[in-house]
Amino acid sequence: MVAPTYLRSLQALELAVRKGSFIAAAEALGITPAAVGQRVKALEDYLGVELLTRGRSGLRPAPGLVPALAHLNRGFEELAAAARELELQRGHELHLAAASDFVDLWLAPRLERFRAAHPNILFNINGEGEAPHRIGRVDCEISYGPPRDAPNSDLLFRDYVLPVTSPENVERTAAIAREIRLEGFPLVHLDFYKDDPAGLSWPDWVAANAVQRSAPERGMRFRRITAALDAVRADAGVTLCGMALIGDRLDAGEIGLPYPISTGRWSAHGFHARFRADVDGRRPVQRFREWLLGEARATRGWLAGAVGEAPD
């Protein structure tokens, strides 16, 4: 019996040899090249033998791997055939993997419109839903990151990030001069944007807007946007968040803007949807992709109306 961890390592190993590089294997698996390398290294450590060598033409099987390589290839060919057969059982199912904040704040509030138009399509999102969880690749993966030049990948939207707080705190600080409004006021830091090169942190925002605030790097930190918004709504402070994700809450007055919209900044990264290359024949996936891109266009239009077009 092969443990699931080492089955993933064997899959990474087989793909790396067949495609000649960790980068190509990572593209096929939907993970990073470093993660592919880690899986192969874990298997080498477990077996105590070198499995790959690097040559001018790319990765090559090491002598310790050669006797097993044909069996490995046949094994994954059989697994791929089994997966194709199992695909026939999925019918009108859609399996998605998406950033949890994107699901909670943007996708879920809109999804009922899709369900109303297509009541027979069942969803499984991040392993949960009315469709049963199945082993294998998902139909669509939605993540936040840098621009991609990859087949079957769509940019949904970039976001416009600006300070937000509770309506009560907007009122409380409205009479304070703009330049000193944040002095002594709790800052809620959101690590979701920390890798975005646009500079979407409090120190960057304070410097760009000539606001006086001692130690702008201090304060509560959250990775999840929803957790930071919960803190904000509980009057715990002010955070930086993307308008596209909280448009409904802004319109409903659940969250307010303590500074003018003009003090915001466009993200350099964006939300991207990547679809499997072999979904062209599946109408449920095609319908979802068309709907998703339409909703994303509406969001980009709403942002353009509020703050102008995103720069190229």
- Residue pLDDT, tens place only, 151-209: 789 999 999 999 999 999 999 888 999 999 999 889 999 999 999 999 999 999 999 99
Residue 201 near residue 209 (C-beta atoms within 8 A): no
Listed residue (29, 18, 114) closest to 72, CA to CA: 18
Residue 124, strand partner residues: 95, 129
pLDDT, tens digit, 9 for 90 and up, residues 217-243: 999 999 999 999 999 999 999 999 999
DSSP character at residue 156: E
| Residue 167 CA neighbour count, 13 Å, CB half | 7
- Rg of the chain over Cα atoms, rounded to whole angstroms, equals 24
pLDDT, tens digit, 9 for 90 and up, residues 30-53: 778 888 888 888 888 888 888 888
Which of 3-17, 27-41, 60-74, 158-172 has the highest mean predicted lDDT (pLDDT)? 158-172
Buried residues in 81-106 as b, exposed as e (16+ CB within 10 A)? eeeeeeeeebeebbbbbbbebbbbbb
pLDDT, tens digit, 9 for 90 and up, residues 87-126: 444 558 889 999 999 999 999 999 999 999 988 899 999 9
**Can you give the pLDDT at residue 184?**
85
Residue 1 has pLDDT above 60, yes or no: no
Listed residue (307, 177, 180, 190) closest to 238, CA to CA: 190
CA 132 to centroid of chain Cα atoms: 22
Instruction: Return the SS3 of 191.
Output: helix
Residue 84 near residue 113 (C-beta atoms within 8 A): no
Listed residue (117, 136, 10) closest to 65, CA to CA: 10
The rounded distance, in Å, linking the Cα atoms of 105 and 206 is: 26
Residue 2 has pLDDT above 70, yes or no: no
Domain architecture of the chain: domains with CATH: 4-87 (1.10.10.10), 92-312 (3.40.190.290)
The rounded distance, in Å, linking the Cα atoms of 156 and 288 is: 13
Tell me the one-letter amino acid at 293: L
Instruction: Return the SS3 of 143.
Output: strand
Band of pLDDT at residue 82, cut at 50, 70 and 90: low
Question: Pairing relation of β-strands 220-222 and 128-129?
Answer: unpaired
Phi, psi angle pair for 233, to nearest 5°:
-65, -20
DSSP character at residue 103: I
| Residue 281: burial class (beta carbons within 10 Å; 0-12, 13-18, 19+) | exposed
- State the helix-helix crossing angle for 66-87 and 4-19, rounded to 10 degrees: 110
Buried residues in 56-69 as b, exposed as e (16+ CB within 10 A)? eeebebeeebeeee
Instruction: Return the SS3 of 30.
Output: coil
Q: What is the average pLDDT value for the chain, to the nearest integer? A: 88
